[in-house]
Amino acid sequence: MDLYGRDLITTQEWSFDELMAVLDLAAKMKRERFSDRWTSILKNKTFIMFFYNPSVRTRLSFEAAATELGGHAQFMTPSAGRFKTEKKAGETIEDAAKVMARYAAGIGIRILEDKVPYYGAGDEMLREFAKWADVPIINMADDKFHPCQGLADIMGWAEWYGEGPGRPDYDALRGKKFVLTWATGALARSWCSVQEALLIASRFGMHVTLAYPEGYDLDPQVIEWTQQNCAEHGTEFEVVHDPNEGYEGAHIVYARNWMSPNAYRDGVFHKEEEIQKALQYPEWTLTAEKMARTDNAIFTHPMPVDRGNEVTDEVASGPRSAIYDIAENRLHVQKAIMALTMGNL
């Protein structure tokens, strides 16, 4: 399996075997975290992290990943440069990408929420970087996809249904019921994490239930891919619009706020309007009562969690919460991605 030089924009664009190469290596790296086998893979190499939006997990886990592979992660924001936008003159993506690629073994980019003028603009920007840079472009969350989160999610779910940390069982996920529910919240989140979760859950053979109030449709292309993935596995894909429906028989419940398709208008992200609208749906908070109707499901969330809105503390901090294991897995899957796409393996 040769993944050297590959971009990673969404897991849907990598084959199942390619995803498994990452996940198998991530599990080995988790079991033997500081083994000499890994600590020189990025020796003398730099990974550039270009962040338009804030981050805790992504920034810290990529920095730690580069360190643990013997390399270095360099942080920059758009305010550090003079980049061309629709509204102001400056350096083009072509020039920025070609120059960054002269310094680095790979480039990670995050751009979403209020930093894009319309849905899809962030993903388009990553693909423009990928066109011009001759080193891998790694999506650190754009407005459509979050592949590193999706890989950490599936690894965490497979650990919980497998033999525990570092011992995931992906076959054990086949036929399990995955419920992704919209949740009220005050953060007006992009669609990247939930869309990646739909794609990866369906790719790994799970039944998928998607629950949300009318008016919170996701990207039709992602829904079509999810349906195709389910059809290939003979699993079910259902959509419900009742906050109390869909939990029966669930094994994994993912509750997360996301913005409505009306969030971007006239080149502007209407964040406050989205938040006020979302807060009118308090019945869409994940509670212990809802979890009690599942088949002893685990709770999953990419974090940061909007506690009290998206989910109660009782569930988020409960014995079936996988959130910290999954946050940890960001480190392991990203080490594996960097090793395979940029490293001297």
Which stretches of the chain bind ligand CP, using CB under 6 A? 55-58, 141, 149, 302-304
Q: How far is the CB of 146 from ligand CP (least distance, A)?
A: 6
Q: Which residue has the tokens 């920007």?
A: 125
Specify the residue, 55 or 67, whose C-beta has the smaller distance to ligand CP. 55
| Residue number, 145 or 160, with CB nearest to ligand CP | 145
Minimum CB separation from ligand CP for residue 339, in Å? 20
- Residue 104 half-sphere exposure, CB side, CA atoms within 13 Å? 27
Q: Cβ 323 to ligand CP, closest distance in Å? A: 10
Q: What is the closest distance, in whole angstroms, from the C-beta atom of residue 147 to ligand CP in the complex? A: 11
* 120: three-class secondary structure by DSSP: coil
Instruction: Kindly list the distances between the CA atom of residue 146 and the CA atoms of 36, 123, 193, 281, in Å, as whole numbers in the listed order.
Output: 30, 10, 5, 26
User: How far apart are the C-alpha atoms of 191 and 149, rounded to whole Å?
Assistant: 12
Please name the residue ranges forming H helices in the chain.
Answer: 16-31, 57-68, 93-103, 121-132, 147-160, 192-203, 220-233, 271-278, 288-291, 313-316, 323-342
Say if CB 321 and CB 84 are below 8 A apart: no
The residues, ordered by sequence, that sit 6+ positions from 127 with a Cβ below 8 Å of its Cβ are 9
Q: From the CB of 9, what's the least distance to ligand CP, in Å?
A: 15
CB of 53 to ligand CP, least distance (A): 8
Residues forming a β-bridge with 133? none
Toward ligand CP, which CB reaches closer, 213 or 304? 304
Radius of gyration of the chain (CA): 19
Question: Which residue's CB is nearer to ligand CP, number 120 or number 304?
Answer: 304
Q: Which is nearer to ligand CP, 56 or 239 (CB)?
A: 56
Q: How far is the CB of 121 from ligand CP (least distance, A)?
A: 19
Q: Which is nearer to ligand CP, 240 or 303 (CB)?
A: 303
Structure tokens at 178: 């995955």
Report the sign of the C-alpha dihedral through residues 10, 324, 165, 183, in that order. negative
DSSP state of 190: -
Which sign, positive or negative, has the C-alpha torsion 226, 232, 233, 235?
A: positive
Residue closer to ligand CP by CB (options 57, 177) is 57
φ, ψ of residue 9 in degrees (nearest 5):
-105, -40
Rounded to an integer, what distance in angstroms lies between the CA atom of residue 167 and that of residue 157?
Answer: 11
Nearer to ligand CP, 100 or 141 (CB): 141
- CB 33 to ligand CP: min, Å: 21
**What is the nearest approach in angstroms of ligand CP to the Cβ of residue 141?**
5
**Is 57 or 251 the residue whose CB approaches ligand CP more closely?**
57
Q: Which two tokens stand for residue 194?
A: 């939930």
